[in-house]
Amino acid sequence: LKCRLKCSTNDAITEQQFESMAKECGVTDTVACRQLLMEAGCLVDFGSYIHLRPAVLLQQVNDWSVATETNIKLQSLIKEEADLRSNLSDPLRKLSNWRRLVWSVALAFSGLQMCIIAYLTFHESGVGWDVMEPVSYFIGCYTSLLFFCYLLRYRREHSYVGFDKTIVTPRLRGKYTRDFDWGKYDDLCANLKSLEGQSFHMTQWMKKN
């Protein structure tokens, strides 16, 4: 395990990665193994992440924000993510206009429906509440059935946030960005999140120690 950690191309790994490597090497008690390696100066444990280069880590303490390889990678990923995100500005604008149109039509229809029901109930002679009560009841039933169909189709209750996740996000990834490499962008965001967490934990450890 010690040789495998030494040959790793990463300066730091997650706790889950360490446990996986330890089990592959036949280690049963990963906690004790981790403690022994730390006491032997083979690694530095700083919570969710484990640094595999203690000597390199000590050299980086004085100028962490500039000198670390992790921070350099982080800045490179931030720039790359910003470049990719800039290609989404026009599709996002079009999608925002479409989303605003959808909700505007829905709210206008709901308001118009309420106005018609109120007018026929209180102002139209010969109609009144006796007629409009069952009409209002059936409108409510049909609305509930519509929401139930939505539940059956998308396996989630209707909500404004849920609608955005169910309809708007797939529309962005389908119609508006057919030429955009979403797989690359998702992997980039995952790596960026991982490096940000690694950088944060290492900085906190350095401040504490």
Express each pLDDT in 3-55 by its tens digit: 888 788 777 788 888 888 888 888 888 888 888 887 777 777 766 778 787 77
Q: What percent of the chain has pLDDT over 70?
A: 86
User: Shortest CA distance to 5 belongs to which of 47, 50, 39, 35?
Assistant: 50
CA–CA dist 174, 165 (Å, integer)? 13
pLDDT at 198 over 50: yes
Residue 205: pLDDT band by 50, 70, 90 thresholds? low
pLDDT single digits (tens) 146-176: 888 888 887 777 777 777 777 777 777 777 6
Q: What pTM, to 2 d.p., does this model score?
A: 0.49
CA–CA dist 167, 95 (Å, integer)? 11
